[in-house]
Amino acid sequence: MDKINSSMKKNIYIFLIFFMVFTLSLLTSCNKQQISVDTDIVNLKVGETYKLNVVLVESKIRYPEFHYEISDTSIISFLDNEITALSTGTAKITVSVLNTKVDPVIVTVNVDEAPKPTKIKSETNLELVLGETHKIEYSVEPLNASKDVLFSSADNNVLSVDENGVITPKDLGETFVTIKSKENPNVKLRVNIEVVLPKVEKIECESELVL
């Protein structure tokens, strides 16, 4: 009888151990499901953007429904997983999955001021034909500085220039257009322009001698 009781106790112990291991394994498997982001800290300057990649790993959910909560929408905006830095400061994005018990993930976004423009680059000498328009192409350094500039014509009788840098010649002559940074007015560039008449193509006439 004692041997039977001992055997039964042994079997019960084995069963309990097996049950505990199975339960622990099941719980561990459930806990593997988690949100993964490519980074939990994003550093941007005002005007810059960053595409945040988010996936749900170890999950049988084919199309998880992510939810994003922004702590301060005056600092960043978030649309289609793209973060846009609006103003200086720190904001947090809390990422969760709707209708699940998956732990949320927090992404911290630090936004600093954009560097001030130090140089404007463009063509400095142009020859334009009367009656044709021309758009000034330019770049600002450093690359992540504000690209906002002002255009002005030194002589509106010769040509005009609009806010987009499109030049319209009005008369023959020479003048210049100034490109000036809005962020840093001390940074400017002078573009010398001469307005000329269209070139006349040479026309060859063939004449026949009639006797």
Per-residue pLDDT of the chain (211 residues; tens, 9 = 90+): 555 566 666 666 676 676 665 554 544 444 568 999 999 999 999 989 999 999 999 878 888 999 999 999 999 999 999 999 999 999 999 999 998 889 999 999 999 998 899 999 999 999 999 999 999 999 999 988 889 999 999 999 999 999 999 999 999 999 999 999 999 999 999 999 999 999 877 666 565 555 5
Query: Nearest to residue 70, comparing CAs of 59, 81, 61?
Result: 81
State pTM to two decimals. 0.56
The closest alpha carbon to 184, from 119, 116, 138, belongs to 116
Euclidean distance between the first and the last CA atom of the chain, given in angstroms as a whole number: 147
